Structures are given as structure tokens and as C-alpha cells.
Structure 1
Amino acid sequence: MENREFRAVKDYEIRQIQDTNTTEIDGYIAKFDSPTELFQGFYEKIDRGAFDNTLKDGHNIFLLYHHDWSKPLASTQTGTLTLSVDNVGLRFNATINDNLSYGKDAIELIKQGLISGCSFGFTCVRESNEYNANDDSIMRTLLEVELYEGSILCIPQYEDTTVFARAKEIDSKERAKLEQAKQNELDLELIKLELDLDN
């Protein structure tokens, strides 16, 4: 899955549902307009409209345990996972079957505080990149993503090699564009200077 990326966010709540052998988990898969530094000088944030199209198209989106496709916890097509956008970000509500052994493990780890966040797997459809000359940084904004899954996991950080490889690739491309733009400006100045000298 080339160009597939993963991002993370902390905090959610759990509720045991009486007499149903299920547990509900609420939280955010992603939060909007919250810049995160993926590495020095490269920041990323999520636009408020980034999930609009992917939620409308009706494809099945899963909640997984640790990005493991062999350990699904809930899904939109089964009605056990609902996703909605609010002012904060992409909110989820998942109903997990307590009879699943890894589901039980996940719930117990959440209760103990050993699992404390969510991550999501996606492909970027549209993005913007802005260079800040004052601090030599780049801000990447995810404008539209295709969402495949959300995951609950122990370490909800950005330290996935896929994230860094992709971010480094974007960073080098943007800096190459900037160098080319600077060179173009210099070329134009030289042409103007030559024209002035000729006159």
C-alpha cells in the first residue's frame, strides 16, 4: 500500500454496556487545525473538510487493534462503528464485542491506561504545502484524505517509518521547488539587468 500513512491522537472514553457483552468506546480519530511537528521544520495539520468526501462515499471503514487487519473491532458497514465530524475533529463511537479475546485485551489495557490513543490509516488525496521563510519550516495541510481505518494502540505517536519517509519526500520536493523558484527569480533579474545594459 504505497503512500498509505498513519496519524495519531490521544484520549477517549469507555462505557460498559450492561447485559449485552459489549463495550462502547468514544473518542477522536483525528483533530483539526492542530499542527504537529513530524520532524524538525516539517509540520502537518488536518483541514476541517479533509474527511467529508471519504465519509460520504459509503465504503467500509474499520476500527482495528494496533493497525492489525486480522483484529477488527468494529466497522461502519456492520453499524458497530459510527464516524462524525464536529468542531474538534473526526469523532468515533465503537461498540466492541467483549467475547473477542483481543477485544477484551484492548478494553482491559484502556482501563489500565496502557492504551491511551488512536491512530488512523489513510491516503492523501489533496494537500497544500506552505513554506515559512522566517523559521525555514514547511506546513503541510491535509485537505482531503481517503480513510481506511482507525486503530486503538499503546503508543499513539507519529514515529511510523511510512510517515517519516513520506514527510521527508514532501519536504525535499518542496525545498527543490523553492530553490527552483529562487533560481528563476535570479534568472529574471539577470535578464532585466542585461536589457538595461543594452539600452
Structure 2
Amino acid sequence: MRTNTFETRSGGDLRAISTNKLTGYAAVYNSLSQDLGGFVERIMPGAFKRSLAKPDNIRALYEHDHQKTLGRVGAGTLELTENSKGLYFELTLPDTTYARDLGVLVQRGDIAGCSFGFRVPENGDRWDIRGGVLTRDLLDVELHEITITGNPAYLDTTVAVRSMEQWRKINSDRARSLEALWIETL
């Protein structure tokens, strides 16, 4: 049974194209994440397709802070598109103190990362062991937000670890094999 927990992940390629407009990739496809607490993750092409079919409530935030909204698709201040590289965005910053400060920090290169917040629906991910590494492929996600962040590392792994525990229960024999392989390499 899916727990439907909220997760966040990082991406890259943030640029300021003017004092009030940012562009970049909130997610990059087919790129393995860092270790997320016993597994790695990869976003597959098309993972955002369903979300982008009805994107009006997807927002851009500053540091995953819901009090610092930067834009929303439905307002026309955030544009999201999938291309062969990943989830591309264009964001027109609001005329607020935190957004003006953010624009300056991005132009200086002090903030250069992106992230996104999502939930995984039933059958939206696939777990497998590849080369002795537990790997989660994200096939379909419910995208809720993208965020601009000064810390573009994976920010929240505790909810993803709960999903890994669910996989282990369902695939207990494979999980034991992975743990045995891990212990042998110590």
C-alpha cells in the first residue's frame, strides 16, 4: 500500500536571464542521485507528464517555504515544460523583498540550485537492484512545487526511506541478498 508521502529532490542549471526572470531545470532525467539512505534514485523521462496535463496549482517556492511563493503556473508567472533533458522552467519573480534578494543571489552565483516537491502515486515508481545497489526509478510523480535553493543537495530523505522499507517488506528475499552483498564488501 502506497503511503503517499511528500518528498523533495534536487536538480540544477539555474540561471538569471534578467533581474526578475529565472530559468533552469528543476529535474534532470536519467541521472542517478546521491545515496539517499541505502538507495539511489533516477527520474525517468515522462515522469511529470500527468502533472503537466493539469499544472495550474504547481508553484515555485524559495527554499521549499510555502510562505515565499515565487510564482504559479495558473497565474502565468511560472512555465514548466518537459524536454529530452528534464523538467525545464521559466519563472518571473514577483516584486517582493525576498524575490529581489533571490534574484541578486542567483545573479552572483551564491544560489545555483533547484529542487522539486512531489508525491508518488500507486505504481509510480519501480525498485530494483542494479550492480548491487538498490535503485528507485520515478516513473510518474504528482508534482506540487519546484523550489529555488542555496542547498541543491537532496534535502529530505526520511520519507523516501519509508518507501524503501515498504519495498523491502514486499521483496524480502532480494533485500536480504542486497544486505548480504553489502556485508561481504565491508
Query: TM-score higher than 0.5 here?
Result: yes
Cross-structure match for 1:168: 161
Q: How does 1:113-128 map to 2 (within 5 A)?
A: 113-125=109-121, 126-128=124-126
Q: Secondary structure of the residue that 1:94 maps to in structure 2? A: strand
Cross-structure match for 2:34: 37
Cross-structure match for 1:3: 5
Larger Rg: 1
Unaligned runs of 5+ in 2: 177-186
The 3 A distance-change label for structure 1 pair 107 and 181 is: closer
Instruction: Give, in whole Å, the separation in 1 of the partners of 2:115 and 2:171.
Output: 32
**How many residues were matched structurally?**
172
What's the offset of the Cα at 1:37? 2.6
Cross-structure match for 2:155: 159
The 3 A distance-change label for structure 1 pair 61 and 41 is: same
Unaligned runs of 5+ in 1: 17-21, 184-199
What's the offset of the Cα at 1:39? 3.3
- Measured on the aligned residues, the alpha-carbon RMSD in Å equals 2.2
Q: Give aligned-pair identity as a percent.
A: 33
8 Å CA contact retained: 1:121, 1:150:
yes
Q: Secondary structure of the residue that 2:31 maps to in structure 1? A: coil
The 3 A distance-change label for structure 1 pair 116 and 128 is: same
TM-score scaled to structure 2, two decimals?
A: 0.84
8 Å CA contact retained: 2:26, 2:146:
yes
Q: Secondary structure of the residue that 2:46 maps to in structure 1? A: coil
The 3 A distance-change label for structure 1 pair 117 and 58 is: closer
Instruction: Give, in whole Å, the separation in 1 of the partners of 2:97 and 2:58.
Output: 21
The 3 A distance-change label for structure 1 pair 55 and 107 is: same
Instruction: Give, in whole Å, the separation in 2 of the partners of 1:45 and 1:114.
Output: 27
The 3 A distance-change label for structure 1 pair 7 and 40 is: closer
Cross-structure match for 1:150: 146
> Larger deviation: 76-85 or 5-14?
5-14
Q: Secondary structure of the residue that 1:119 maps to in structure 2? A: strand
Instruction: Give, in whole Å, the separation in 1 of the partners of 2:135 and 2:154.
Output: 16
What's the offset of the Cα at 1:182? 9.2
TM-score scaled to structure 1, two decimals?
A: 0.78
What's the offset of the Cα at 1:57? 2.1
Instruction: Give, in whole Å, the separation in 2 of the partners of 1:80 and 1:11.
Output: 19
8 Å CA contact retained: 1:38, 1:167:
no
Aligned mate of 1:130, from 115, 128, 131: 128
